[in-house]
Structure 1
Amino acid sequence: MRFVSALLAAASLVAAVKGHWLGDIPHQGFAPFAGANYPVFRNVKDYGARGDGVTDDTTAINAAINAGNPCNKGCASTTMTPAVVYFPAGTYLISSSIFPAYFTQLIGDAAAPPTLKATPNFAGFGLIDGNPYYTPVLNWKAVNVFFRQVRNFVIDTTAIPPGTAATGMHWPTSQATSLQNLVFNMPATPDVVHVGLFMEEGSGGFMTDLTFNGGATGASMGNQQYTMRNFKFNNCKTAIIQIWNWGWTYSGLSINNCQVGIDMSAGGSSAVNVGSVTLLDSAFTNVPVAILTAWTRDSNPDTAGSLVMENIALNNVPIAVKGPGGTMLVGTAGSMNIEAWGSGHSYTPSGPVEFAGAVTPNPRPAVLLSNGRYYTRSKPQYENLPASSFLSVRSAGAKGDASTDDTAALQNAINTAVAQNKILFLDYGLYRVTSTILIPPGAKIVGESFPVILSSGAFFNDVNNPKPVVQVGSTSGQAGYVELSDFVVSTQGVQAGAVCIEWNLATSGTPSGMWDVHVRIGGFTGTQQQVAQCLKTPGNPTVNPNCLVAFMAMHVTTAASNLYMENVWLWTADHDIDDQPNTQITVYSGRGLYIEAENGPFWLWGTGSEHHVLYQYQLANTRNIFMGQIQTETPYYQPTPNALVPFKPVAAINDPDFTASCAGVEGNCAAAWGLRVIDSRDVLVYGAGLYSFFTDYSTACSTFSAGQTCQQRITSIEGSASNVNIYNLNTVGTREMLTRNGARIAWFADNVNTFASNLAVYKSG
């Protein structure tokens, strides 16, 4: 009887779920600056798509994308016309490219990912063309393409003749973008010339859970920096072609039955275009050459083509690394594991030493690992839950119009969802709050096309008494677990005391997580921190008091623990996204990400922190931290004024005091730190791009010919820090790449790379 009851219950659940919850729930997202009838959510079947594998659905899909006139051809950027374009399960036949608009998410049924299948006569640059060439240049400036996602699709070019050029997806984009759960199916014939994923420009970025079957090339990519994990390549001629980069981190690659694993030889030995690659926790099986590189001891530039590998499994891989002169690292006809190997410049802890060979692997704290690899977890999509498991914040009374005080309604909705064991669905909107929003243990919150929690008012405006906008856990060390995904925290007007996110939670067991949760401060409609209020003033060090917009982006407090962060961008805007020329602005946010939790563990996969006054990342008295390809930028206005203005250093939170530390130091020393590590241990950085492009809004300082004079120092390790190790540190515009207790460790001119300076391996000793 119990068995029969269980079967009936299971059948009832399957019947209740039917389709993906995202297609079944009511959609009440409201874009307050796009007009009352603007559709945030679009189901392609409502626009005529059939998904039957027979009907040409191209026109219907593009109609769904363009409903309401979002930012597409000729538009620079926007936050005013968000969209989720949803594809139920099915096979969607397309004969030309799909063109997703700016601030648009393409999302397939996560439980049964739909197929986009090209017709034999397909015409276009990618079944999904994320940044078209309507003219000889990209429609959107690639380094300004933010807040976009594509997930849960099979992209199929197998009907296109193998010898006809075809691309599955064209994706030149930047921060706060993501690809997740995609399968690229291509012919696997000797004459095939298909490419799965192509990307030629941008400043990314994050991708995860992509599979490439067949094709001439799985992924052919060039971008400033990226974090990519859990990619599978099966029967491609070449799995990855690295066109160019400054820094790239790959983790969890599985490359099988390909002729070449990663080809990073772009440009050849005479002029290498690939800056650096960091590869970890990956496997190659039946691959004649795992890595093809152009690095030599005479590389031009000196450190171009830097490579660091750690924990790499080889199965029937005769050549592990091949350079212009032949085999650099012998593989095996059987099985072997590369503990750590690299080529480039090392500092262990002094240098530079040019090397090509084995590296002492990082001591990996067990608490950071799962089955011998660094812990990873993809963003939950709740694909097995019915629509009844979700509670809408708009149904709970919140308006999301950027002007109504939604504090009580939002807090009540969070509390109700936790009490009812439901997931809170944050329908799109700008939810203005005038006091702290508390996220208690047990909360699960998922947003629709990056809704915004927007602080406002006097409560957040006392620089001497900072207050969190979103507080996870009521007190530091409160026990519990949460999941947060796909929303933005920001501020409105003057908010000199706003801490956008305060993380207090101490989680045991499975880590709590933040996926695609961003802090976006200033520069968009609704913030009152745009061109009209905070236009840049080059040459004028006077601070506009109306443009003090945040005290800190994110604070992880002393007793917090066990937090997983993936694709989190903590951005103080350098330009107005909703101004069509993308005019630069000056707004002041005091601090980026501050972690002072005593024990960890913390994982930062594909995170960035930009344009904060004092620092972008600061770690103090903490431990057990993994960082994968962090990325920073110094504020463009510095040193006019410098980093001591307008936020005075606060000793209680270990703020840097540039007056003391810069005594006797030449150049622009009082500039924001990219990464500052104080009295911390077991900090393991697998790729870092720390950039300083401007002095007082001029880029003349950022080139090697100019002496990289934008700022003097950018990476600091201080006090009793130990086991602080960095692979592939890339700096731009900075003379002293790395300092230890105020003493210079690495000098830019000793480590010239493509545009950045690079050191491949630093061990703190």
Structure 2
Amino acid sequence: MKFQHMLTALMSLALGAQAYWMADIKHQGLAPFGGANYQVFRNVKDFGAKGDGITDDTEAIRRAMNTPNNRCLQGCASKTETPAVVYFPPGTYMISSSIVTPYYTKMIGDPTNRPVLKATANFAGFGLIDGNPYYTEKPNWVPVNVFFREVRNFVIDTTNIPPRTAATGMHWPTSQATSLYNLAFVMPATADVVHVGLFIEEGSGGFMADLTFQGGESCASMGNQQYTMRNFKFNNCKTAITQMWNWGWTYIGLEINNSDVGIKMANSDVGSVTLLDSTISNTKTFIQSSYTPSGKPDTQGSIIMENIKFNNVGTGISGPSGTILAGGTTTIAGWGQGHQVLGTAGATELQGTIQPNTRPAALMNGNVYYQKSKPQYENLGAGDFLSARSAGAKGDGVSDDTAAIQAVITQAAASNKVVYLDYGLYVVKSTVNIPAGTRIVGETYPVILGSGSFFQDQSAPKPVFKIGSQSGVAGRVEFSDFIVSTKGPAAGAILVEYNLVAPAGNPSGFWDFHTRIGGFSGSEFMIPQCAKVVGSANIDPKCIAAYMAVHATKQSSGLYMENTWIWVADHDIEDATNAQITIFAGRGIFIESTTGSFWLVGGAAEHFHLYNYQFAGTKNIFASMLQTETPYYQPLPNAIQPFTVNTSLRDPDFATSCQGVSGNCANSWGLRIIDSSDIFIYGAGLYSFFNNYNTFCNSIANGANCQSRMVSLEGSIKNVNIFDLSVIGTESMINRDGKSLTKNSDNFNTYASNVIMYRSG
């Protein structure tokens, strides 16, 4: 099989076609817990797939996905010990039944000539790609626990299936650190078609970008807690998007052409939708909404729009009583419906035109917000990459790989090459210094593990990855598809410190680059070490896992972060029951750049002890659908211990600020903004689900709250804008200098409470 693959590659070169580097590069990924000779990288043609448009390749692709038999499939709760990259060279692969992607799998096609997955006329299954099959009445994996997976660079074609036969291109109920990139869904464009391109019914996403849909009855039918979706194009759909349910959703760069309905969100389970920088053309109705100002719950079906171009749109928004917003050929500069909070006033009703945000040039590309898709280095060859394993790094989760990792990064930056971080668990015993110009690509999700005494002193915190030798150094970096973490106690570890000043208009970039703290094999923060303890405020020193996740220092600027999950694990992902654990990490993402220019697109920060997001003394920040969760153990212990207040980092002082505040006050902030300006947040889901592992407090129906406060605005605040804020389990949604501006009970939505627009003034 390997000879056949080599022959195919040689024939392509002989015909003048340069093979994509991923097909040619030496693959040496090591899965330390996968077993002897476990294969991380798999080329489907090595397993017998033809890709000739004639042969049924279903079984060959399944072999590539599932070999060996210890991959996480039916009956497996979750597992990250057996990763895989399944690669598809160009071709048309005929599929007669669903391809199931096992847990912890990347499915990647050649981006220079996207492979086609084409259904046979007799196709049977729920999606050509089924990301979470129904072997019983429930999905195989709990959708909110499906992490770390990706599908990119494919055409998914259902046109062989008769139009009136139900068919689905992809079934994808998943959650954080998952992504779809560069996919095309091709369906019949007939009047009687009933095909669906993308179907999602559950989960806690998430991010997708660069998807196109052609034909179909409902091109994308989706229900999930929250999502950021960027650069979606719909052509000739009956309904482009059916929003089945959500708490919040952000669409950026939406393009809908020649459709009957753009977005159908008339279901009472839809919480809110944010849309910006989009174009709607030749469409009868853009949005079907169920919102009424006097409806119950108060804010169900909220909408916020900014910079939406209409070209020959029949009706802009229709509601239960008729037209809410007219169509035509025009630009909707700003429009909203729901509840608004302006300045220090409480919540009031909003339905109509709003003043659009005044967008700073530092965040823009022309008249839209800057965006950039994950680099795939299509123009490079295999010789343009330097392998960490070839440089001597072991990646076995035990050996000290500090010197080897540092050497390959230094060499790659000096020679303008890309570091290929073969899969492995790379232990580093001191800071890895990242010079300007560094580019790192992971083979699926390799992990850098800061470990040992160097990272254990909370009074002298040190970075694991230090990007730029000191704050204010000029240059940029690109990171994609890998993880930084810790192994064993690390109370003084800052996982990522960003110091660079990137060129204007060309920021550094993080794509599918995550910090993952505990809960996996090799971390030493699992059930045996850190099982949850209910009803006790005791703090086990061996379960203090990090000081901070990401720190953008004062003189740094210019960083684009897309689908970056900053996670303190709440459960042991390798455990058969996903049992909960208690581990402590102090701070999530802290940006104190005085210049700013940061984009946080579709990211999340969860379970940090003091705060999940903090912006202090900064400006020029764009964010879309920030998602947070308060640690499940709080308030036992609460946020006062074990992390000492560091005033130089603008830490919250709960011992002081909670005086006179009732309820669970000393709980982690979801979002804290201090002395900052020009902040633009388009979607935020900030959740508190537990009171010391008890969930009674998180339901609106129970009339209880898991904590007192969620968003804090402090000091000199100017031009801070939060659109589409959804909060769960928290009494006060927004606080300004210690005073509550609005409560969740004033803004009930479907499950969360929602304020569709906050402006500081």
TM range, normalised to the smaller chain?
over 0.9
Contact 1:400–1:430 (CA under 8 A) maintained in structure 2: yes
CA distance in 1, matches of 2:245, 2:425: 38
Residue 63 of structure 1 is matched in structure 2 by 63
Match of 1:456 among 429, 451, 459: 451
Q: Deviations over 1:128-157 (max 9, x none)?
A: 000000111000000000000000000000
Q: Deviations over 1:82-124 (max 9, x none)?
A: 0000000000001000001000000000111100000011000
Map 1:372-391; keep pairs closer than 5 Å: 372-391=367-386
Aligned AA for 1:51?
G
Residue 534 of structure 2 is matched in structure 1 by 538
Match of 1:337 among 326, 331, 335: 331
Q: Deviations over 1:385-431 (max 9, x none)?
A: 11111111111110000000000000001111112211110000000
Residue 746 of structure 2 is matched in structure 1 by 750
Match of 2:321 among 315, 320, 325: 325
CA deviation after TM superposition for structure 1 residue 318, in Å: 2.0
Residue 5 of structure 1 is matched in structure 2 by none
**Counterpart secondary structure, 1:395:** coil
CA distance in 2, matches of 1:48, 1:172: 29
CA distance in 2, matches of 1:45, 1:614: 49
Query: Given the alignment of the two structures, is residue 22 of structure 1 paired with residue 22 of structure 2, yes or no?
Result: yes
Residue 527 of structure 1 is matched in structure 2 by 523
CA distance in 2, matches of 1:53, 1:648: 63
**Counterpart secondary structure, 1:705:** helix
Q: Deviations over 1:143-188 (max 9, x none)?
A: 0000000000000000000000000000000000000000000000
Residue 264 of structure 2 is matched in structure 1 by 263
CA deviation after TM superposition for structure 1 residue 525, in Å: 0.2
CA deviation after TM superposition for structure 1 residue 362, in Å: 1.1
Map 1:149-548; keep pairs closer than 5 Å: 149-266=150-267, 272-332=268-328, 335-349=329-343, 350-509=345-504, 510-548=506-544
CA deviation after TM superposition for structure 1 residue 15, in Å: 7.3
CA distance in 1, matches of 2:331, 2:242: 23
CA distance in 2, matches of 1:355, 1:546: 50
CA deviation after TM superposition for structure 1 residue 18, in Å: 2.1
Q: Deviations over 1:48-73 (max 9, x none)?
A: 00000000000000110001221011
Match of 2:734 among 724, 733, 738: 738
Aligned AA for 1:336?
T
Match of 1:584 among 580, 592, 600: 580
**Counterpart secondary structure, 1:190:** coil
Query: Given the alignment of the two structures, is residue 624 of structure 1 paired with residue 625 of structure 2, yes or no?
Result: no
Query: Given the alignment of the two structures, is residue 119 of structure 1 paired with residue 114 of structure 2, yes or no?
Result: no
Aligned AA for 1:578?
E
CA distance in 2, matches of 1:67, 1:300: 52
CA distance in 1, matches of 2:363, 2:704: 36
Contact 2:209–2:231 (CA under 8 A) maintained in structure 1: yes
Aligned AA for 1:153?
F
Contact 1:17–1:386 (CA under 8 A) maintained in structure 2: no
CA distance in 2, matches of 1:649, 1:277: 37
Contact 1:512–1:563 (CA under 8 A) maintained in structure 2: yes
**Counterpart secondary structure, 2:696:** coil
Residue 3 of structure 2 is matched in structure 1 by none
Contact 1:16–1:386 (CA under 8 A) maintained in structure 2: no
CA deviation after TM superposition for structure 1 residue 300, in Å: 2.4
CA distance in 1, matches of 2:167, 2:538: 54
CA distance in 2, matches of 1:142, 1:583: 16
CA distance in 1, matches of 2:702, 2:643: 30
Contact 1:708–1:732 (CA under 8 A) maintained in structure 2: no
TM-score of the aligned structures, taking structure 2 as reference length: 0.97
CA deviation after TM superposition for structure 1 residue 324, in Å: 0.9
**Counterpart secondary structure, 2:481:** strand
CA distance in 1, matches of 2:708, 2:13: 61
**Which consecutive unaligned segments of at least 5 residues does structure 1 have?**
1-11, 267-271
**Counterpart secondary structure, 2:698:** coil
Runs of 4+ in 1 over 4 A off after TM superposition: 12-17
CA deviation after TM superposition for structure 1 residue 682, in Å: 0.4
Contact 1:17–1:384 (CA under 8 A) maintained in structure 2: no
Match of 2:672 among 670, 673, 676: 676
**Counterpart secondary structure, 1:417:** helix
**Counterpart secondary structure, 1:562:** strand
CA RMSD of aligned residues (A): 1.1
CA distance in 2, matches of 1:15, 1:639: 66
CA distance in 2, matches of 1:677, 1:706: 30
Map 1:702-713; keep pairs closer than 5 Å: 702-713=698-709
**Counterpart secondary structure, 2:318:** strand
Residue 8 of structure 2 is matched in structure 1 by none
**Counterpart secondary structure, 2:501:** coil
CA deviation after TM superposition for structure 1 residue 298, in Å: 2.8
CA deviation after TM superposition for structure 1 residue 708, in Å: 3.8
CA distance in 1, matches of 2:437, 2:565: 24
CA distance in 2, matches of 1:428, 1:346: 47
Aligned AA for 2:59?
T
**Counterpart secondary structure, 2:473:** coil
Residue 4 of structure 1 is matched in structure 2 by none
**Counterpart secondary structure, 2:500:** coil
**Counterpart secondary structure, 2:412:** helix
Map 1:692-703; keep pairs closer than 5 Å: 692-703=688-699
Aligned AA for 1:222?
G
Residue 40 of structure 1 is matched in structure 2 by 40
Residue 605 of structure 2 is matched in structure 1 by 609
CA deviation after TM superposition for structure 1 residue 13, in Å: 9.8
CA distance in 1, matches of 2:36, 2:389: 15
Deviates more, 1:161-170 or 1:741-750: 741-750
Quickly say closer, same or farther: Cα 1:702–1:105, change in 2 above 3 A: same
**Counterpart secondary structure, 2:470:** coil
Contact 2:13–2:19 (CA under 8 A) maintained in structure 1: no
Aligned AA for 1:689?
G
CA distance in 1, matches of 2:341, 2:624: 19
Contact 2:388–2:419 (CA under 8 A) maintained in structure 1: yes
Contact 2:591–2:616 (CA under 8 A) maintained in structure 1: yes
Aligned AA for 1:24?
D
CA distance in 2, matches of 1:725, 1:13: 53
**Counterpart secondary structure, 1:162:** coil
Aligned AA for 2:673?
V
Aligned AA for 1:80?
E
Identity in percent: 60
**Counterpart secondary structure, 1:37:** coil
Residue 9 of structure 2 is matched in structure 1 by none
Aligned AA for 1:438?
N
Residue 9 of structure 1 is matched in structure 2 by none
CA deviation after TM superposition for structure 1 residue 721, in Å: 1.0
CA deviation after TM superposition for structure 1 residue 669, in Å: 0.6
CA deviation after TM superposition for structure 1 residue 560, in Å: 0.5
Query: Given the alignment of the two structures, is residue 552 of structure 1 paired with residue 553 of structure 2, yes or no?
Result: no
CA distance in 1, matches of 2:17, 2:728: 51
Residue 269 of structure 1 is matched in structure 2 by none
CA distance in 2, matches of 1:738, 1:537: 31
Aligned AA for 1:435?
S
CA deviation after TM superposition for structure 1 residue 646, in Å: 1.1
